[in-house]
Amino acid sequence: MKKIDNLRETKEYRLAMQVENALNDYGFDYAVFAASIPLMHPTLQQNLYKLLKECLVVMADDKRRYDDRNRASHEEAKDIVAYLEENGHYIPHI
């Protein structure tokens, strides 16, 4: 996992905390969020996919803190990352 200096001062950290807050709402509908993706600009859809792949890499990292509450997602992320390392494609920024 990449070490980031001054992580808490970045715009990416602030966005991650907004996502955390949204996910903490039991009314958050994952399907509605996903259904919104096709309404994004195609290049930004590519960027979102790159972000999701990077999230999987972090979630799969055995050195990060996880426990029984997120063990299943950690293990599945490891499987997905292993698959992508063998079968994944370069995702261009177009």
Per-residue pLDDT reduced to its tens digit, 28-84: 999 999 999 999 999 999 999 999 999 999 999 999 999 999 999 999 999 999 999
How many Å apart are CA 92 and CA 94, to the nearest integer?
6
pLDDT at 19 over 80: yes
Q: What is the structure's pLDDT at 94?
A: 82
Closest C-alpha to 23, from 72, 62, 70, 74 = 70
Domain boundaries, the chain: 8-87
Amino acid at 36: S
The answer to whether 61 and 1 are in contact (CB under 8 A) is yes
Q: What is the structure's pLDDT at 2?
A: 78
> At 93, is the pLDDT very low, low, confident or very high (cuts 50, 70, 90)?
confident
| Three-class secondary structure of residue 69 per DSSP | coil
How many Å apart are CA 91 and CA 24, to the nearest integer?
30
**Average pLDDT, stretch 85-91?**
95
How many Å apart are CA 7 and CA 60, to the nearest integer?
20
